[in-house]
C-alpha cells in the first residue's frame, strides 16, 4: 500500500481576534495534524474588551478562554510559548521555554516546522519617541497590562479614600493620551468604575469631586477615523460624565506626575494611560521581511509576504486598501482576513489550486462603547453604501454582539449562548467592578 504523504502543516502564530478564528476554521476541517496555533499566553481574551478589564468592569480570569480547550473543541494543535525567531530557509520557528512565575522551567525552548507560516501577532503601542512615555505611562496592549492598570487605579482610589480623611485637597488625576476608540471607551468605563468602587465602602471618596479624567487628542477631533456624528455623540457623553477633552493637543513629554504638551501646557497625572497609536512588534523585524514605517509586515492583496511560505494578517500586517492606505488595524478586519485565509489555506492543505481573488476589506461600520448602557456608531448600508447612525442602548447591544460573534466563531452557538447566560447570572452574585 502506498504511504500516505504527511499533511501540509499550517502554523499560525498569535491566537487573537484573527489568528484564533483562522485556527478554529481550519482545524474543524483539516484537524490537528495540519493546523497548529502558537500563542505566548495560555488564555485567550478578545483584545477589544481590554478597556473593560483595565477599568475592572470585566474580570479577565472569568473572561479568558483556555487555548487547550479551544484546540480540543476545534481540532487544532496548541503550542504555548512566544515565537522568538524564524529560520526561513529551514522553515522552522523557535518557540520560547515556558516557566512558572517563580522562574522554574516547565517546557524547554522548542523548534517547530511549518510548510506555511501565518503571522497574526497583533501590534503594540506606538510612543512616537515621546520622552518619558514608555517609562511613565501605562499601555493597554496585553491582559497583563490591563490587569496592572486595574490594580493601580484600585489602589489609587483606596489611598485617596484614606487621604481624604485628613486632606480635603487630595485628588486623583487620570490622563489618557489618545482620543481614538480605546481612549474614549476607557474614559467612560473609568468614570463608571469610580462610582461603583466608591459605593463599596470608600465613604470618603467621591469620584465627581475627587477624580479628574482628562483626555488629550492631537487631532482636531476625537475618534478622528470615524464619522463626525460618532465623535459628536462621544463628546456629548464624555461631557455628561465630566471627562475633560482637549483636542489639537500634542503631548511632548510624560513625567512622573504630569503630562506636558507641545504648546506649553501641563496636566497633573497621578496615572497616565497611553492609547495614541500602534506599531508592529519588535519580533516581526527579526524575520527580515519588508515592513512599513510603523513596523507592520507588508503583504499583497492576497495577504502574502515576500516569502511564499509566510502570510500575515490582522494588526501585524500592512494590507493594501484604498487611496494608497492600508487596511485599518481593527478586529473587524482581522475577522474578515481569517475568513479569507481559511479558504485560501484550505485549498493549500487539500492540495487544490489556491483561489486567486484578492482580499477586499469591507467596512461594515464602527461601534464605540460609551459605558455599560450606551454606545454610538454607524452601520454601513449594503445598498446605499452610506452609514446609518445608531446610538444609546441599541448601539451598546450591537457592540456587545460583536464580542458574541467572535465567541460563536470559536465556541459554536450552543456554548456561546451558555456562556452568555452564565455570565448574566454571575452578575447577580458579584460586584460590577472587580474589587480584589
Ligand X SMILES: Cc1cc2nc3c(=O)[nH]c(=O)nc-3n(C[C@H](O)[C@H](O)[C@H](O)COP(=O)(O)OP(=O)(O)OC[C@H]3O[C@@H](n4cnc5c(N)ncnc54)[C@H](O)[C@@H]3O)c2cc1C
Residue 179 CA: distances (Å) to CA of 68, 113, 123: 36, 42, 18
Question: DSSP assignment of 64-107, as one string?
Answer: -EEHHHHHHHHT-EEEES-EEEEETTTTEEEE--EE-TTS-EEE
Least distance (Å) from ligand X to the CB of residue 20?
7
| Residue 261 or 305 having the CB closest to ligand X | 305
Residue selected from 176, 177, 334, 376 as contacting ligand X according to rule CB under 6 A? 334
**How far is Cα 195 from Cα 192, in angstroms, rounded to an integer?**
5
Residue selected from 9, 10, 11, 16 as contacting ligand X according to rule CB under 6 A? 16
Longest dimension (CA), the chain: 86
Task: Output the residue with the shortest Cβ distance to ligand X.
Answer: 16
| Residue 47 or 260 having the CB closest to ligand X | 47
CB within 8 A of 234, min separation 6: which ones? 184, 222, 223, 368, 370, 376
Q: Is 56 in the site for ligand X (CB under 6 A)?
A: no
Least distance (Å) from ligand X to the CB of residue 421?
23
As a dihedral over the C-alpha atoms of residue 93, residue 99, residue 101, residue 102, rounded to 10 degrees, the angle is -140
Classify 376 in phi/psi space as left (phi over 0), alpha (psi -120 to 50) or beta: beta
Beta strands (DSSP E) in 134-284 are: 137-138, 172-177, 211-216, 244-246, 251-254, 258-261, 266-268, 271-274, 278-279
| Residue 160 or 342 having the CB closest to ligand X | 342
Looking at 40-48, 153-161, 204-212, 380-388, which segment touches ligand X (CB under 6 A)? 40-48
Least distance (Å) from ligand X to the CB of residue 82?
4
Residue selected from 11, 13, 60, 172 as contacting ligand X according to rule CB under 6 A? 13
Q: Which of residues 374-433 bind ligand X (CB under 6 A)?
A: none
**How far is Cα 334 from Cα 12, in angstroms, rounded to an integer?**
13
Residue selected from 57, 332, 336, 416 as contacting ligand X according to rule CB under 6 A? 332
Q: Which of residues 78-137 bind ligand X (CB under 6 A)?
A: 82-83, 120-122
Looking at 17-25, 208-216, 263-271, 405-413, which segment touches ligand X (CB under 6 A)? 17-25
| Residue 17 or 160 having the CB closest to ligand X | 17
Q: Which of residues 169-198 bind ligand X (CB under 6 A)?
A: 181-182
Chain-centroid distance, C-alpha 66: 17
Closest CA to 23 of 38, 44, 45: 38
Q: Is 255 in the site for ligand X (CB under 6 A)?
A: no
**How far is Cα 94 from Cα 115, in angstroms, rounded to an integer?**
15
What phi and psi values does residue 132 have, to the nearest 5 degrees?
A: 80, -15
Looking at 97-105, 262-270, 330-338, 346-354, which segment touches ligand X (CB under 6 A)? 330-338
Q: Is 15 in the site for ligand X (CB under 6 A)?
A: yes
Q: Is 51 in the site for ligand X (CB under 6 A)?
A: yes
| Residue 59 or 315 having the CB closest to ligand X | 315
Residue selected from 43, 163, 283, 400 as contacting ligand X according to rule CB under 6 A? 283
Neighbours of 383 (CB within 10 A): 5
Looking at 41-49, 158-166, 187-195, 234-242, which segment touches ligand X (CB under 6 A)? 41-49
Least distance (Å) from ligand X to the CB of residue 83?
4
Q: Measured in Å, how far apart are the chain's first and last C-alpha atoms?
A: 62
Least distance (Å) from ligand X to the CB of residue 263?
28
Q: Is 315 in the site for ligand X (CB under 6 A)?
A: yes
**How far is Cα 17 from Cα 323, in angstroms, rounded to an integer?**
26
Interface residues with ligand X (CB under 6 A)?
13-19, 38-41, 47-48, 50-51, 82-83, 120-122, 140, 181-182, 281, 283, 314-316, 329-332, 334
Amino acid at each position: 500500500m502506498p504511504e500516505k504523504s504527511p499533511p501540509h502543516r499550517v502554523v499560525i502564530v498569535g491566537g487573537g481576534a484573527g489568528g484564533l478564528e483562522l485556527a478554529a476554521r481550519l482545524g474543524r476541517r483539516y484537524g490537528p495534524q495540519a493546523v497548529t496555533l502558537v500563542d505566548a499566553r495560555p488564555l485567550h481574551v478578545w483584545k477589544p474588551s481590554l478597556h473593560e478589564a483595565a477599568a475592572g468592569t470585566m474580570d479577565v480570569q472569568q473572561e479568558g478562554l483556555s487555548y487547550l480547550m479551544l484546540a480540543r473543541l476545534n481540532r487544532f494543535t496548541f503550542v504555548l510559548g512566544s515565537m522568538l525567531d524564524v529560520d526561513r530557509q529551514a522553515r522552522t520557528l523557535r518557540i520560547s521555554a515556558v516557566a512558572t512565575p517563580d522562574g522554574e522551567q516547565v517546557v524547554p525552548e522548542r523548534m517547530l516546522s511549518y510548510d506555511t507560516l501565518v503571522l497574526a501577532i497583533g501590534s503594540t503601542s506606538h510612543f512616537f519617541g515621546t520622552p518619558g512615555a514608555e517609562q511613565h505611562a501605562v499601555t493597554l496592549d496585553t491582559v497583563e497590562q490591563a490587569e496592572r492598570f486595574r490594580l493601580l487605579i484600585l489602589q489609587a482610589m483606596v489611598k485617596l479614600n484614606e487621604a481624604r480623611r485628613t486632606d480635603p485637597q487630595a485628588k486623583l488625576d487620570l490622563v489618557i493620551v489618545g482620543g481614538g476608540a480605546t481612549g474614549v471607551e476607557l474614559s467612560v468605563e473609568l468614570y463608571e468604575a469610580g462610582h461603583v468602587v466608591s459605593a463599596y465602602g470608600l465613604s470618603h471618596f467621591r469620584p465627581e469631586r475627587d477624580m479628574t479624567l482628562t483626555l488629550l487628542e492631537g487631532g482636531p477631533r476625537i475618534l478622528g477615523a470615524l464619522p463626525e456624528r460618532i465623535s459628536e455623540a462621544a463628546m456629548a457623553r464624555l461631557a455628561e460624565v465630566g471627562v475633560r477633552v482637549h483636542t489639537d493637543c500634542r503631548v511632548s513629554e510624560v513625567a512622573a506626575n504630569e503630562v506636558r504638551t507641545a504648546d506649553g501646557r501641563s496636566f497633573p497625572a497621578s496615572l497616565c494611560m497611553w492609547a495614541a497609536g500602534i506599531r508592529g512588534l519588535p519580533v516581526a523585524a527579526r524575520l527580515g521581511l519588508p515592513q512599513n514605517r510603523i513596523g507592520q509586515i507588508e503583504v499583497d492583496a492576497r495577504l502574502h509576504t515576500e516569502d511564499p511560505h509566510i502570510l500575515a494578517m490582522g494588526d501585524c500586517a500592512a494590507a493594501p486598501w484604498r487611496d494608497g492606505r492600508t487596511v485599518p488595524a481593527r478586529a473587524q478586519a482581522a475577522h474578515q482576513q481569517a475568513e479569507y485565509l481559511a479558504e485560501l489555506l484550505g485549498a493549500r492543505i487539500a492540495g487544490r489550486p489556491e483561489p486567486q481573488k484578492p482580499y477586499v476589506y469591507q467596512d461594515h461600520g464602527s461601534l464605540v462603547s460609551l459605558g455599560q448602557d450606551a454606545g454610538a456608531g454607524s452601520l454601513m448600508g449594503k445598498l446605499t453604501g452610506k452609514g446609518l447612525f445608531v446610538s444609546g442602548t441599541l448601539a451598546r447591544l450591537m457592540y456587545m454582539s460583536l464580542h458574541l460573534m467572535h465567541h460563536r466563531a470559536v465556541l459554536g452557538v450552543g456554548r456561546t449562548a451558555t456562556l452568555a447566560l452564565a455570565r448574566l447570572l454571575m452578575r447577580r452574585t458579584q460586584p460590577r467592578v472587580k474589587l480584589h
